[in-house]
Amino acid sequence: MPNFTLDDSVFAEAARRFPTPFYLYDERGIRQAARDVKAAFAWNTGFRQFYAVKALPTPAILNLMLQEGSGLDCSSMTELLLARRIGARGEDIMFSANAMPVSELHFARELGAFINLDDISDVDRLILGGSVPQMVLLRVNPGKYGAQRQGVMGRSLDAKFGMLPTQALNALLKLKAQGMTAFGLHAMTDSNTLDIGYYISNARYLFELGAALMRQSGLPLALVNLSGGIGIPYLPEEDPVDLAAVSKGIQREYARVFSAREDIQLATELGRLITGPSGWLVARAIHKKEIWRNYVGLDASAADLMRPAMYGAYHHISVLGKRGAPTDKVYDVTGALCENNDKFAIQRRLPEIEIGDLLLIHDGGAHAHAMGYQYNGRLRCAEVLYTMEGGFRLIRRAQTPEDYFQTMVFD
């Protein structure tokens, strides 16, 4: 079930203060989600969540994460620069990138970030940069032992991420020869899954591989990064993941594989689970059209939220002030792009919509504004934080045509 914790009056007030479209984020919900993750894994002494910056790379949100004790999971030079700029220290940063330029790897190393190597070839590239960190993580691709669901990521066997488990041993031996004294492991083979079995079996796989690699390399396993990928209930009939059950299942596997050891630190890199349900794209119906189908045109488009266009993803839509009204109309809800996949909803049952109505597109707190683009000269919209105190804070202004022209050469 999408998140209905904020009253319609909050959105209505926001829309009086800021021109639509914009994203509204609920500070309370975001903080609570970060606390829930921390509490669920409290049994692991060194546990730390690293928020996946790519999900919502806005300073005010990343600051909330740091305040809640999360680190930041970065995947590019720009994200590293952003993390540094908001005051994250090296130990607050996890760098998980693939096919990255060697300069990014070395910059992450200079910052003192945790380095998560995606491929065996990255070992030599890291060594080229000078001294190797005391601890390096390896991202593995479990192949047939990874997720087999044809989700957004495809099957592990087809996924570009991570190195072969057999390459991991060679990587460790090479790094050991360069002075590395402990290692970490990481794998992520599914995304947006509500199946708690996935996250537990991913952990089990990493624990067992870690135990084997410890024996084979003579190096201690210091950190297991369970990655991200826990899903959220986009559909009305879906329920949130039971985090306590996930954590308990992982604790059981941890105890089974590592019996006496308690010092192996766990990490997560959750993005969607933390901010996804606490963000809404607020847009206004500005057009209605009745041809072979009935269309409602919004002032937002796929340039603001591309998940429906890109993945056919479902985002729940509600119409402000019409929550209880009968959903006796069927609409395609569209944006203005010259692309027929610019539809937030296709043949969706909704209450009757009038021009001027405010629509909420739910679950827009992760991989939403962040995936925006400027096709058709549609500029990226603003982001507003609804604070704990009940105020509204503009945390990113809307782009202007001047921003759009800035990188163009006119003469």
Ligand X SMILES: *Cc1c(COP(=O)(O)O)cnc(C)c1O
Which residues are near ligand X by CB under 6 A?
52, 54-55, 73, 96, 188, 191-192, 227-229, 269-273, 366
Smallest gap from residue 52 Cβ to ligand X (A): 3
Smallest gap from residue 281 Cβ to ligand X (A): 17
Instruction: Using the minimum distance from each CB to ligand X, give the nearer residue, 37 or 285.
Output: 37
Q: What is the CA radius of gyration of the chain?
A: 22
**For residues 279 and 60, what is the distance between their CA atoms, to the nearest angstrom?**
14
Instruction: Using the minimum distance from each CB to ligand X, give the nearer residue, 111 or 153.
Output: 153
Smallest gap from residue 396 Cβ to ligand X (A): 19
SS3 category, 37: helix
Smallest gap from residue 74 Cβ to ligand X (A): 10
Distant-in-sequence, close-in-space partners of 112: CB < 8 Å, separation ≥ 6: 89, 90, 91, 93, 133
Smallest gap from residue 105 Cβ to ligand X (A): 15
Smallest gap from residue 189 Cβ to ligand X (A): 11
**For residues 59 and 75, what is the distance between their CA atoms, to the nearest angstrom?**
16
**For residues 156 and 310, what is the distance between their CA atoms, to the nearest angstrom?**
20
Peptide bond before residue 21 is cis, with ω within 30 degrees of 0:
yes
**For residues 358 and 284, what is the distance between their CA atoms, to the nearest angstrom?**
5
Instruction: Using the minimum distance from each CB to ligand X, give the nearer residue, 116 or 217.
Output: 116
Pairing of strands 317-319, 265-268: unpaired
> 308: which 2 tokens?
């429906």
Instruction: Using the minimum distance from each CB to ligand X, give the nearer residue, 62 or 214.
Output: 62
Instruction: Using the minimum distance from each CB to ligand X, give the nearer residue, 184 or 228.
Output: 228
> 139: which 2 tokens?
């991202």
Within 13 A of 75's CA, how many CA atoms are on the CB side?
Answer: 15
**For residues 386 and 11, what is the distance between their CA atoms, to the nearest angstrom?**
9
Instruction: Using the minimum distance from each CB to ligand X, give the nearer residue, 70 or 227.
Output: 227
